[in-house]
Structures are given as C-alpha cells and as structure tokens.
Amino acid sequence: MGIRLSPLGIAVFCLLGVGVIYHLYAGVLSSRIASFRQKRTVDLRDLLALSMEAAVQGGREVKRIREDNTLEEKSKGKTKEGASEKLTLGDLNSHRKMFYLIKNTYPYIQVNSEEHANAEGEATVWTRIIPEEILAKISGGKEVPAERITVWIDPLDATQEYTENLQKYVTTMVCVALDGDPVIGVIHKPFTGYTGYKVLALLDPNDEEQETADVYIHVTYIKKWDICAGDAILKSLGGQLTTLRGEQIDYSGTEGNNGGLLASIKTDHKALVKRLPPWEENKQ
C-alpha cells in the first residue's frame, strides 16, 4: 500500500526536497568558486613555455599561408602618417592560434592582440609540456596573481614585408607584463625557426643573423604589442627602452604609446635623452 500525504504533508515534503537540492547545489557551486579562486595565480615558468608555444603555433600559420600563397591581402586602414596597414590571412590565422591557446589555458588573464578576428575561437588547449631547456634553467613556483598580468601578442609583425616575401623581417611575438613591467618576451621567426626569449633572469636572445644597433629612435605613434617583447629582451641585455622623454613605458592599460621610443645599449641612456630636442607627444 502506498503512503498518502495530506496537502500539508505534500507541501512540507516538497519544501524539504527543495531545501536538500538547494543545499547540495549551493555546496557544489561554492566549492567550484573556491577552486576557481584558488587557481587565479599563474606560474611564470608555465607562462613562458605557453608563450613560446603560442608564438611557434602562430608562426606555423604565418609560414604555411605564405608558402601556399593564400594571403588574401587587404587594407585595414591607414596609419597616422598615411601608410596603408595591410591585413592578411596569415595575420588572422596566427591571431586565432596564439590568442585562444593562451586564453583557453588562462581565461582570467588579460590578453591584448593586434588583430581581432570575429570567427569562433579555436579549441586549442596547451599540453602543459615544458621544454627541457626551460626546466633546466628555471625552477617552478614563481606564481603571481592573475590580475597583475597583461599579455601582448603580435600575431604577425612586419606584414608589409610579409606580403613582399621578405621573410627575414617577419616575426610572431608574445610579451608578458607584470604590473606594467615586461618580464617575459618571446620573439619567433617563422621562416628560420629561431625563437628568442627572456623571463626575469633567464635569457636566450642569440640570433647571428639579427641586425644590431646601439641606439634606436622612433618618433611616431606605436602600439605596445610591437615593442613589449623587444623591451623585455633589451632590458635583460642591460639596455633600456623609454619614451623620448626618458619615461618607462607602462605595459598595462591602453594599447598605444604616444611618447616615441628611445632604445639604447652599451651607452648612457640618460645622456641621450638630454641631447634630444623637446618632444611633443603624438595624439592618436
């Protein structure tokens, strides 16, 4: 014989059932939130390995599309100086690989890219395999809060040269800034396979074919994804990169740098700043 409940009994039973379900759901949800909060830190060694993998994966797309001659070249506008800003399928495909590899791995860190593809995101997930050269040179455990990190990626630097098949100038770049200071820089050359990188005290910038200079001056507006990785590597070599007024560049916040650039190595940077004429910022 089944148990019959009065309307009041049914109401009480239902409320108890809802209460049990609510507490179960709330418990699961709170544990997931707690777990999520606990993971909102990033190991810089892991982030270096991920940055290198992102640059290499983007570079593969850049190289493949150039070799297949499927650039689908077009203009995305003009620079302040009136030059055409070219866009190719290499830029877009590299962006998708690099951006979503990083974002799928660490969805809670800020990632800024030169390109903004409207297509659905890649399902790429990092394998978390750290190269032996990194394991040998840097220990783990250098964890920092995710909110202190800003990542800048340039999916294809030197697009103009890319369309002209001047391969040695083409790079993919990833830079990680901690509180606005560039602490990881990765520059990858897709057509040679060279990858230079820097993280805190770790450095491997050697590229025998790279052109060198002791001083570099840039006077026009420039985006931070173009300079952040180079800034990180230059600093690791004992050089400096500042605005033309000698100010450090903050790699958090807005994407543009209006103050020009002065890069130097093996020279008195402050003395160079004093020798420059008065500087008025470019407004973009």
Q: Which amino acid makes up residue 13?
A: F
| Annotated binding-site residue? 156 | yes
- Integer angstrom CA distances of residue 141 from 43, 60, 151, 271: 6, 31, 20, 39
Closest by Cα among 144, 152, 127 to 45: 144
Contacts of 160-165 with CB under 8 Å at 24 or more apart are: 160/86, 162/62, 162/66, 162/71, 162/88, 162/90, 163/71, 163/73, 163/86, 163/88, 165/66
d(CA 156, CA 89): 10
Q: Flag whether 157 is marked binding.
A: yes
Under 8 Å between Cβ of 197 and 153: no
Strands (E) across 71-212 are located at: 74-78, 84-87, 110-113, 143-145, 149-157, 171-178, 181-188, 195-199, 202-204
Binding positions for Mg(2+) are 114, 154, 156-157
Task: Give the annotated binding-site residues.
Answer: 114, 154, 156-157
